[in-house]
Each structure stands twice: as structure tokens, then as C-alpha cells.
Amino acid sequence: MTVRERWPKIVLSAKEDVEAAISQHKDLSQQDVEAGHKICSSLDGLNASMAKNAPLDPLPEDGASDIQAYIAELETLPNPTWHNVPWLFSECYMYRIIHIFFATSTPFWQSFDVFTKSKIQSLEGSKTGVLELVKRFHSMRKAIAHNEVSDEETQKAVFEEMVQICLWGNATDLSLLTMLSMEELTSRQGKANRDSSKANIVDDDTEEVWKLVSGLKTSGTSGIIHMVLDNAGFELLTDLVLVGYLVETGYASKVILHGKRMPWFVSDVTEKDLKDLTQGFINGTVWDNLDSTDTAELKEAGTYWESLLSSGKLEYKAESFWTTAHSFGRMADVEPELWSEFSKADLIIYKGDLNYRKLVYDGCWPHTTPFGKALGPLAEKHGGKGTRTLSLRTSKADVCVGLMAEREKSLESNWTRTGRYAVVSYWDGKA
């Protein structure tokens, strides 16, 4: 169904956006116009190839190093066709070949993000949630600055709230995202609300993560945390809120964000998406007709995250590993430098469904499989070094591990696909 229905719609939408760009940019050169039409023809060919279950050929070179990874993987697959290869591989292959159409075109199209329109619409459609979350973020920063988050119980309550905001930012049902005020967080009602949301977390290691994070200030470690990003728009905002919390509390001295170096899986974060969000907040260009208070609060938030970037407390990277079809358990072998960097960090946070699928090999695991087992080599030490893995993911695909048998029995039959259930799954590979 995904190959036959969802993917063709994505490719068709990409073609329509290219055609719209051609008609809207009246100053395009004839060369760019012809190149755009060629991209549209290539996208039509891609759809036709998927429809007839054609063989998957080695990807043509576009000057990037990850092409060889796809070629090598194809050689291990017997008679690979669109319907006869691992689902995750063919999905990555599709997005990678779409990028080739643009990367091998003219400079105008090389810098064109064919998914920008949908990402902008997603952010614009989250106006109410964005404004509410930004207010909560400012409240949290002020409370920390005024030493109102000093006792351990309050610190833990704020941590749980920040984790849940980041977790449910990718939810299908945003009513699961409570966004409690500082006063509500410490109240009995606030605890009841947090516990209600936690009831939908089917594998919840929040307590273990809190013990780790709360000890970072006194442990003498580097205080470096990495976050492998998922979606642009509102989810990216929730990620930045968690980043700000970690920095403001001193739990992290630096946070490194890892996004995609090319448009990927429609909504995945690129460096441009990060800049569009922060600069859009600063310049007031995301929404029209905001009142002066909302405009000022958005500007303050955007300025804050830009200050973290300029000071080096926040950094964005986009390694080619994230746009290969590799499961993350291969990292130590195929990207030893990235593995080494991660092994020196205090914690690696992986956001979202795609990253989760790559963490656990997109495997048909029994749902009661321990998270550490499903991680494979990523859970192990290599050369005496290991990494700490935290997955924050709302479930939108079949694969899910870490459940207790009793918990699984209590869930409806299609629970893995609704986006109403989630995991906060943690594994300490340094132990």
C-alpha cells in the first residue's frame, strides 16, 4: 500500500511543486526552465518504475560519498525490485534518487527544497501550539533564572514536562501534549496530567534518564548531548525547547543537532529549516497579523536560539550517514568518526519514527524484545567505548520493542500505527 499509494502521491506532489516554481519564477533562465521540465520527466519515470515493480538499479553518481553505500547494499540483495527489497531500504532509495534529479541539475534546482512548501504549511498550521509553547518556554527560562526550580521534586517535574513536550511534538493527536505552566507543574493536578500522558508511553525509561541527566552537572563529564533530529516545523520547535532547557539548567554545556544534508522523507530537518524557524521568529515573517505581545515573544525565542548557535552552545551538523539506508547499528563500522564522537558524549537523543526504525533495524521484533537487544551492535562497546541511546518516538509504524507482556495485552490491535502511543526508550552502552 505504501509503495503503490503513498509514495506515488509524494512524487507527484514534488513534480507539482517543480511545475509551480517554473511558473512562479518569471526570471528563470531558459536553461533552468528546461532543467525543471527534465526533473518533472524524471519524477514521472520514477512513478512509472514503482508502479510496474521495476528492478532497482545502482544509483547514478552525483558527487556524494553515500552513493557507494547504496550500490554496495544493492549488491547484497537478490533480484531487487521496488516490491522485493526491505521496505526501509526502498524508501531511502526513493528519496535519494529524487535528490539526484536535483543535485545533477542547474544551480537553481540544486538549492531547491522540493518539500519546503509542505514544511512551511505544517509550521503555519501549528500557530496556536507554537504561541502557547513559546510562552511556556519563556516561563521556564525565567523560573530557572530566578532559582524557582531548586528543589529536586520541582526539577524532576520540569524535566518530565520538557521530555514529554519533545516526545509528543510529533504526535498525531497534539492533545497529548499538555504544556503545563510552572505553577501547574508542581501542583497535584499537574502531576495527574503528566501521569495521564505517561499512560500512553508503552516503554518508559524516563526515571533512568532523569538519574543520568540530573547527575551531569556534578559528574565531571563534558556535558555534551547530541540530538538526531526528525521533523521540521512544530516538532523542531519542541526540540529547541528541550535544548534550551538542558542548557539553561546546566545539564548540558553544549547540544549538537544532527539533521539532513538534503531534503529527506518530506518533513525532515535541514539546516535551512532551522534557519527558517529562528529567523522567521526574529523577523516576524511566519504569520501575519500577530499582536505585539506574540510578535515580541517569538522574536525573543528566535533570538535566544540564534544566540546559542553563535556562542557555540548549540551546533548543527548534517553527516551523510543519516541519508544512507544503514541501520544505526552499523555506525561503528561504516562511520567510525561519527561513532567516536558519539562515544565521547554524555547522551545521544534520537527523535521520531524513522530514527527509531533505523535504531532497531526496522525488524519484526516481538514487542516484548528488550530495547538493548534490538539495538544490536549500537548497544555494545567497540574498542572499549560505548554510547548512551535515548529514543523519543511516537509510534506510527509496526515495529516497537521494550514492552512488558502485560502492557502489550492491554493495547488495541492497531496501536503501533495511530501516533497515540510512544516510547521513551533508553540504553546505557557505557555501563
C-alpha–C-alpha distance, residues 391 and 176, integer Å: 18
pLDDT < 50 positions in the chain: 189
Cα angle 88-92-95, degrees, rounded to a multiple of 5: 145
Q: What is the pLDDT of residue 194?
A: 61
Neighbours of 78 (CB within 10 A): 6
Cα angle 87-93-96, degrees, rounded to a multiple of 5: 145
Contact by Cβ (8 Å): 40, 18: yes
Q: What is the pLDDT of residue 218?
A: 75
Nearest Cα to Cα of residue 349 among 249, 181, 212, 150: 212
Query: Can you list the domains of the chain with their CATH numbers?
Result: 2-113 (1.20.930.60), 121-428 (3.40.50.10880)
Q: In the numeric block, which cell numbers belong to residue 148? A: 524557582
Contact by Cβ (8 Å): 233, 122: yes
Q: What is the pLDDT of residue 171?
A: 73
Any idea how long the chain is?
Answer: 431
| Cβ-based neighbours of 23, under 8 Å, separated by 6 or more | none
Contact by Cβ (8 Å): 21, 112: yes
Nearest Cα to Cα of residue 247 among 177, 320, 332, 308: 308
Q: What is the pLDDT of residue 8?
A: 95
Nearest Cα to Cα of residue 346 among 430, 244, 425, 424: 430
Q: In the numeric block, which cell numbers belong to residue 217? A: 552537572
Burial 136-153 (b: 16+ CB within 10 A, else e): bbebbbebbeeeebeeee
Beta-bridged to residue 181, according to DSSP, are none
Q: What is the pLDDT of residue 3?
A: 73
